[in-house]
Amino acid sequence: MKVRAAVLEQFDRPLVVQELDLAEPRAGEALVRLVACGVCHTDMYTASGADPSGYAPTVLGHEGAGVVERVGEGVESVSAGDHVVTLFSPQCRKCVHCLDPRTNLCLAIREQQNRGYLPDGTTRLSHEGEPIRHFMGTSTFCEYTVMPEIALAKIDPEAPLDRACLFACGLSTGLGAAMFTAGVTPGSTCAVFGAGMVGLGVVAGCRLRSAERIICVDPSARRLALARGQGATDCWDADGHAVERILEATGGAGADYVFEATGLVSVMAEAVQATRMAWGLCTIIGVAGKGETLEIVPRLLITGRRVCGSSFGGVKGRDQVPELIDLYMRGQLHVDPFISHRMPLHEVNSAFDLMAAQDGIRSVLMYDGV
């Protein structure tokens, strides 16, 4: 079938919206008609060419939500008409990691996905007979996508898809980092560095886990206002004194749970310093630049601070994305404030411009019209 897609033809050039060919789903795959797709930093990062593992041509996009059109042979967990969220982090439910409660890093299709192929090593996308590689196993800057069923989370059909799509990456990453990776405990003091989509999700996750105090640090007053709306109790300008202020506010001890959601290694170092001695946990979520390292004074560890990282919030996608969306459906999560712009597919490059200008939290591409 013919589909319209935003193609990364060359790094550091605008995406080109054009017609591609999309082949039918094969065994274990499903064809999904996408309804909405968030535009995430990872898409822009890859488009820029800065990601050393990036490739082109490819169809970017991974924060998608839509409806299953038809499925390939042997597909049992989704069927035509199901509403789904696309998972760049799949869940095969069979590999050693899927069977372990401690991790969400499914190993099933990792290698092929990283190289831009579906699990059988081929692509469903092509242009004039030339294969076009898939991006993050999702390629959701497109009206339709073919994906493995293990990478589709079946969600409540009542959930509005333009909001559900945020659970495909940024929002689940933040929520999960607080709720699953760190496992924030009731009554604790939390500190969140960064109030973008992920940091705001962390704030909401801390609130859902009944943290007593949630400190959010960001240079933008507008984002801090959004953080307050998500449950932050203290919103502080990132003025370079955040660590001192957090220590001061906690009797010199530091916060029980600290989260870094900026991708800056200098902020990661601050996050470790702001973590409580004796039992504090610092969770690194942001993706650092190539070759950059986080520097930690070992004494901070010896005196009881722990440091970990979180990928997709530790969320086991097929099991837990539906649960997170249910929280939203029950009114426990405010998702609307995250969506700053809605636009059609052919305006995808403006979404990148808005992101570069730090204008708003999320642009959502609407494939059925804005």
Q: What residues line the site for its own copies (CB under 8 A)?
A: 97, 100, 102-103, 105, 265, 268, 277-279, 284-288, 292-311
Q: Is 145 a catalytic residue?
A: no
We find the least distance from the C-beta atom of residue 277 to its own copies, in angstroms, to be: 7
- Minimum CB separation of residue 322 from its own copies in Å reads 23
Q: Give me the catalytic one of 4, 93, 110, 222.
A: 110
Cα–Cα dist 164/83, whole Å? 10
The nearest distance, CB 120 to its own copies, in angstroms, is 23
Nearest distance in Å: CB 153, its own copies? 20
What is the DSSP secondary-structure string of 78-118? --TT-EEEE-SS---S-STTTTSTT-----TTHHHHHHT--
106 is annotated as an active-site residue: yes
Based on the residue annotation, tell me whether 127 is a catalytic residue of this protein. Answer: no
**Of 231 and 317, CB closest to its own copies:** 317
Residue 273 CB, shortest distance to its own copies, in Å, is 12
Question: Catalytic residue among 4, 69, 93, 95, which?
Answer: 95
DSSP string, 252-286: TS-BSEEEE-S--HHHHHHHHHTBPTTT-EEEE-S
Round to whole Å and give the CA distance between 83 and 163. 13
Q: Is 134 labeled as catalytic in the residue annotation?
A: no
Strand pairing class (58-59; 152-154): unpaired
Catalytic residue among 29, 37, 42, 262: 42
Tell me whether residue 83 is one of the annotated catalytic residues.
no
C-beta separation of 90 from 40 below 8 A: no
Catalytic residue list contains 103: no
The reply to whether 13 belongs to the active site is no
CA distance 98 to 109: 12
CA distance 269 to 275: 10
Residue of 37, 98, 206, 235 with catalytic role: 98
Annotated active-site residue in 29, 63, 260, 270: 63
Whether residue 165 lies in the annotated active site: no
The catalytic residue positions are 40-42, 62-63, 92, 95, 98, 106, 110, 169, 362
